[in-house]
Structures are given as structure tokens and as C-alpha cells.
Amino acid sequence: MTNITLKVNRHQYSLDVLPWVSLLDALRDRLKLTGAKKGCDHGQCGACTVLCGGKRILSCMTLAVMKDGSEVTTIEGIANGDELHPLQKAFIEHDAFQCGYCTPGQICSAIGMLGEGKAHTRDEVKELMSGNLCRCGANVGIIDAIMEVREGGNRE
């Protein structure tokens, strides 16, 4: 066991983990933060995406011990109290989820992507979000929601 500290959604945690435990399992099983989903567990679907130091990462492909001392944000930490994040609101407005399984990863990934500042067009947003799969066909709504927030951000 290795003792690590993680700051998750503004709370400090100290936990003992085995060296091979993924960040996803640590979040879900140990911290009971089940927003990040285990889709493929192989880095292929994006359902487990969380933000680490503001950057999007696949928590299924990340060992918890690698993130010792890091700051992690999961979907549970995205809203500002009762006030939903603009992307959460836009997802609701654009019917951007059906089963909702991919949604936490999509939203975390979109926040990370917008922070990267590389997406300038709808096609670029699509390309940069291509690591997040939705099996339900909500993709158009997802991209619409992200575009709305991206363009809203530009007007500010």
C-alpha cells in the first residue's frame, strides 16, 4: 500500500492504495465519487474523463499513485454550488444526453478542451472531442451544446 493525498473537488483526501489501482477505481470505489464512469476501462471511450490540474485525463489509464498530491475535478465538482456549469445547462438545453452514461466524461472533456484553446470551428470541436464516444447518438446535441458555450465564451 502507498499513502497518497488527492485534492478532489476542493476536498483534501488521504488514502492508502495499492500501486496498480487506477485513479478511476480510487475515485469510484474509495471516495464514492461515481460520476466518472467505467465504460471500456481501456482508454477507448472517454467515459472516465476527469480534470487534473485543469487538463482532461482518462482516469482509467492513470494510476492513482501517479497523481499523488494532485488536484482533480470530477463531474461532481463542476457546478458552482446549486448553479450548474454553463456546459451542464447547455447539455440540458440541447438534449445532449440520452442514457447519460457518457455525459460526465463529455462535460469534463469539453471543459478541458475549451481550456486548451485549440478548437476554433465546429469540425475542430468534433475532432478534439472524438475520444469521447456516445453510443446513443446524442453526438449532434453534444457538439451543439459545446459550440454554444464556446461561442458564448467568445462574446464575453
Q: Which residues bind ligand FES (CB under 6 A)?
A: 38-41, 43-48, 58, 60, 97-102, 134-136, 138
Question: Of the two residues 13 and 101, which places its CB atom closer to ligand FES in the complex?
Answer: 101
Question: Of the two residues 107 and 149, which places its CB atom closer to ligand FES in the complex?
Answer: 107
Task: Find the shortest distance in angstroms from Cβ 15 to ligand FES.
Answer: 20
Burial class (CB in 10 A: 0-12, 13-18, 19+), 32: exposed
Task: Find the shortest distance in angstroms from Cβ 81 to ligand FES.
Answer: 26
Question: Of the two residues 70 and 98, which places its CB atom closer to ligand FES in the complex?
Answer: 98
Question: Of the two residues 118 and 135, which places its CB atom closer to ligand FES in the complex?
Answer: 135
Contact 99, 133 (CB under 8 A): no
Residues whose CB falls within 8 Å of the CB of residue 156, separated by 6 or more in sequence, listed in order: none
Task: Find the shortest distance in angstroms from Cβ 71 to ligand FES.
Answer: 20
Cα separation, 27 vs 39, in Å, equals: 15
Contact 46, 2 (CB under 8 A): no
